Amino acid sequence: MNYTETVFCINEKMNIIEVKNLTKKYAHLTAVNSVNFNVQDGEMFAFLGPNGAGKTTTIKILTTLLSPTSGTATINGFDVCQQTDEVRGSFGIVFQDPSLDDKLTAEENLRFQGWLYNIPAKELKERIPMLLEMFELKDRAKDLVEQFSGGMKRRLEVARGLLHKPKILFLDEPTIGLDPQTRNKIWEYLRGLKQKEHLTIFYTTHYMDEAEFADKVIIIDHGKIIANGTPAELKTQTNQTTLNDVFLFLTGKDIREVNISTPEKMKGSFGH
Amino acid sequence: MRALLIIWYRDLLRFLRNRLRIVSSLLQPLFWLLLFGTGISGSLRFSGGQGTLGNFNYTEFLFPGVLGMTVLFTSLFSAISVVRDREFGFLKAILVAPVSRVYLGLGKILGGATVSTIQGFLILVLLPLVGVKLRLNFIILFPLVFLVAVMISALGLLISAQIKTTEGFQMIMQFITFPMFMLSGALFPLTNLPLWMDILSKINPATYGIDLLRQTTFRLLGLPDAVRQAFAITLFGKPVSIMTDILIIFVFGTIVTIIAAKIFARQEK
What chain B residue is nearest to A64 in terms of C-alpha separation?
B96
Pick from B14-18, B153-157, B209-213: least confident: B14-18
Pick from A61-65, B121-125, B148-152, B216-220: least confident: B121-125
**Cα gap B12→B28, rounded to integer Å:** 21
Confidence bin at B239 (pLDDT 50/70/90): confident
What's residue B47's pLDDT? 56
Q: Which residues contact residue B148 at a Cβ distance below 8 angstroms, ignoring those fewer than 6 apart?
A: B68, B71, B209, B212, B213, B249
Contact B213, B68 (CB under 8 A): yes
The more confidently predicted of residues A270 and B219 is B219
Of chain B, the end-to-end C-alpha distance in Å amounts to 23
What chain B residue is nearest to A68 in terms of C-alpha separation?
B268
What's residue B162's pLDDT? 80
Q: How far is CA B38 from the centre of its chain?
A: 22
Residues of B in contact with A113 (CB under 8 A): 93, 97
Q: Which of B89, B97, B165 sits opposite A88 (nearest CB)?
A: B97
What's residue A106's pLDDT? 97
**Cα gap B204→B42, rounded to integer Å:** 29
Instruction: Please list, residue by residue across A81-112, b when 16 or more beta carbons sit within 10 angstroms of its beta carbon and e when fewer do.
Output: eebbeebbbbbbbbbbebbbbebbbbbbbbbb
Burial of B216 (0-12, 13-18, 19+ CB in 10 A): buried
**Cα gap B218→B238, rounded to integer Å:** 19
What's residue B1's pLDDT? 81
pTM, 2 dp: 0.87
Residue B27 has pLDDT above 70, yes or no: yes
Q: Which of B10, B92, B98 sits opposite A112 (nearest CB)?
A: B10
Contact A240, A272 (CB under 8 A): no
Contact B161, B83 (CB under 8 A): no
Confidence bin at B54 (pLDDT 50/70/90): low
User: What is the DSSP code string of A18-62?
Assistant: EEEEEEEEETTEEEEEEEEEEEETT-EEEEE--TTSSHHHHHHHH
* Interface-testing mutation among A115, A143, A148, A167, with chain B (most B C-beta atoms within 10 A): A115
Radius of gyration for the alpha carbons in chain B, expressed in angstroms and rounded: 19
Range of B24's domain?
2-48+55-266
The pLDDT of B243-263, averaged and rounded, is: 96
pLDDT cut 90: percent of chain B above it = 58
Confidence bin at B55 (pLDDT 50/70/90): low
Instruction: Please list, residue by residue across A46-68, b when 16 or more beta carbons sit within 10 angstroms of its beta carbon and e when fewer do.
Output: bbbbbebbbbbbbbbbbbbbbeb
Q: Tell me the CA distances in angstroms from A15 to A18, A168, A199, one per residue in order.
A: 6, 12, 13
Contact A90, A167 (CB under 8 A): yes
* Interface-testing mutation among A112, A157, A160, A169, with chain B (most B C-beta atoms within 10 A): A112
What's residue A2's pLDDT? 46
Q: Summarize pLDDT for A115-134 with one digit per residue, the tens.
A: 999 999 999 999 999 999 99
What's residue A11's pLDDT? 45
Q: Which residues of A touch B (CB under 8 A)?
A: 60, 63-67, 84-86, 88-89, 91, 93, 95, 97-104, 108, 112-113, 115-118, 160, 267, 270-272
Residue B50 has pLDDT above 70, yes or no: no
Q: In this structure, what DSSP letter does residue A105 have?
A: B
The stretches in chain A having pLDDT less than 70 are 1-13, 257-272
- Sign, CA torsion A54/A58/A59/A64: positive
What's residue A230's pLDDT? 96
Residues of A in contact with B13 (CB under 8 A): 104, 108
Q: Tell me the CA distances in angstroms from B207 to A23, A182, A269, B138, one per residue in order.
A: 49, 57, 38, 20
Q: How many CB atoms lie within 10 A of CB A41?
A: 15
Contact yes or no for A104 and B13 at CB 8 A: yes
The pLDDT of B178-200, averaged and rounded, is: 93
Structural domains present in chain A: 2-271 (3.40.50.300)
Residue B160 has pLDDT above 70, yes or no: yes
pLDDT cut 90: percent of chain A above it = 80
Residue B22 has pLDDT above 70, yes or no: yes
What's residue A264's pLDDT? 43
What's residue A259's pLDDT? 55
Contact A248, B62 (CB under 8 A): no
What's residue A9's pLDDT? 47
Q: Tell me the CA distances in angstroms from B115 to A201, B14, B169, B231, B256, one per residue in order.
A: 41, 10, 19, 29, 19
Confidence bin at B25 (pLDDT 50/70/90): confident
Q: How far is CA B84 from the centre of its chain?
A: 21
Pick from A146-150, B41-45, B178-182, B215-219: least confident: B41-45
What's residue A260's pLDDT? 47
How many domains does the structure of chain B reveal?
1
The pLDDT of B256-261, averaged and rounded, is: 95
What's residue B53's pLDDT? 53
